[in-house]
Amino acid sequence: MGVAIKSFEGKVAVVTGAASGIGAGLAEAFASEGCAVALADIDEEGVDATKTRLRSLGASAESVVCDVTDPGQVESMADTVESTLGPVDIACNNAGVAIYGPVVDMSLADWRFVMDVNFWGVVHGVRTFAPRLVARGSGHILNTASMAGLIGMTGLGLYNASKFAVVGLSEALAREVAPFGVGVSVLCPMMVETQINVNSMRSWARATGRPEPETPDPGTDTPSPSQMMRGGFVDVPTVTERTLAAMRAGDLYVLTHAEQREILARRAARLDAAAP
């Protein structure tokens, strides 16, 4: 059990990747609990739409265009948020991308694209916010990893590498900052109904200069993530409800699917069998 959040009321939360999917859902969940929310994303139109929606629900919400791959932009986003909404209590490093395919087919540009967002984006968020929370002696960091950060899967090697790194970083950070009153949780969902495939393929084409490929789709030659993970989809509200409950309980891991229990038990059994 780590450091728990007793109440969300009156807190300031920052969410990266808040234009869409899980990030937009987390922002809405924090707002509905009484947080002021700062929404950060590279997608200006999308993040403004989230802001408009949350404000129409009566929330205090600000949007900031921020590319999490750039440490300077993350640092100045934090300064902007703190000058408009006040000191940040909850920092969610959630922005992420996914590309699928065998490790041997991945170019260096592919590796850099995914690691820049999924790994370095989280590092920049942690380096920006963790010292501020530690200095104030309270707060919470939520990093979005994935079930792909807990088990390797065929066709997801690059994404696995980026998400395992986020889980490892979160586990270590949780131990280090708990004595300073700061909590850490790592969100590890299986499949969630979002636009991650479409959004990722667009920005992958932009980042690597490659033509935008067909989005992976169940039934095509490219295995869909659900085929790789053999699990069903859950909706965003299910994920955000579990996440806030975990933060309230001071839990490090946030899991979202019942199927995870059996898959992770098999992994634990394989490790157990390998130990001398």
Ligand X SMILES: NC(=O)c1ccc[n+]([C@@H]2O[C@H](COP(=O)([O-])OP(=O)(O)OC[C@H]3O[C@@H](n4cnc5c(N)ncnc54)[C@H](O)[C@@H]3O)[C@@H](O)[C@H]2O)c1
Catalytic sites, residue numbers? 159
Residue 138 near residue 87, CB atoms below 8 Å: no
Alpha-carbon gap, residue 235 to 218, rounded angstroms:
18
d(CA 103, CA 189): 22
Nearer to ligand X (CB atom), residue 232 or residue 274: 232
CB of 83 to ligand X, least distance (A): 20
> Does position 153 bind ligand X by CB under 6 A?
no
Q: How far is the CB of 14 from ligand X (least distance, A)?
A: 12
Residue among 136 and 202 whose Cβ is closer to ligand X: 202
165-186: burial string, b at 16+ Cβ within 10 Å, e else: bbbebbeebbeebbeeebbbbb
> Would you count residue 63 as binding ligand X (CB under 6 A)?
no
Q: Which positions from 10 to 29 touch ligand X by CB under 6 A, shown as an x/- string?
A: ------xx-xxxxx------
Strands 36-41 and 253-254: unpaired
User: Minimum distance between the CB of residue 136 and ligand X, rounded to whole angstroms?
Assistant: 25
What three-state secondary structure class fits 249? helix
Give the CA angle between residues 177, 183, 189 to the nearest 5°: 120
191 makes contact with ligand X (CB under 6 A): yes
State the residues that interact with ligand X by CB under 6 A. 16-17, 19-23, 41-43, 46, 66-69, 94-98, 117, 121, 144, 146, 189, 191-192, 194-196, 199, 203
